[in-house]
Amino acid sequence: MRNLAIFCADVGSIKKNRFGWAATLPDGHELSGVSIEDFAANIANQVELGSKVSVGFECPLFVPVRSNPVNVNSARKGEGNRSWSASAGAAALGTGLVEVLWVMNKVTSLLGESPSAAFEWSRFLDTKSIFLWEAFVTSAAKGVGHIEDARIAVSQFEASLPAPMSMNAVDEESVLSLVGAAALRAGWSDDIAVLSEPCLVIKA
């Protein structure tokens, strides 16, 4: 896609300077920073310019729904030894959830209207929407600092094109979508079905 802007945030404590983001714009220009406000502002700017916008967050964006109580908080299929329910994963999940919602609300405020969220690539291509995905940067792939981790995720998403869904790293049949809940709360969706819809997970 020639008109695609790819953003990703590595979530973390804003007070402790543990938030970082990176982006590749349609013209190939790269951006990065540590301000969540700048992250949201640049997303809104690309929407206003008419770019197709893809936004990833480096934190668990959905959790599995299982009938067996023994496995109810086990790792998602594809996570390996970095389970969403382990201490680091659970902390990133909680931190990310509120930061995802903040970004959505800020983008809406800047645009003056709520954009539409897409979790399927085909729907994203066919509609005026923002594609939301989960970045999963493993310990072996991590760089130095949060901006570098966000850059790694952006690069991995670029490498998955033109068919990113074929590179999905986590496969769960039944889920509770936290990013879907955030989209409902922010007005980016009015379809309750998004609560059961997993998003793409790009693993580096």
Local confidence pLDDT in tens for the 204 residues of the chain:
789 999 999 999 999 989 999 999 999 999 999 999 999 999 999 999 999 999 999 999 999 999 999 999 899 998 887 788 888 888 889 999 999 999 999 999 999 999 999 999 999 999 999 999 999 987 766 767 889 999 999 999 999 999 999 999 999 989 999 999 999 999 999 999 999 999 999 998
If one counts the domains in the chain, the total is: 1
- Measured on CA atoms in the order 13, 186, 147, 87, is the torsion positive or negative? positive
Under 8 Å between Cβ of 132 and 167: no
Q: Is the peptide bond before 198 cis (omega within 30 degrees of 0)?
A: no
Provide the residue range defining the domain that includes 97.
4-203
Under 8 Å between Cβ of 161 and 124: no
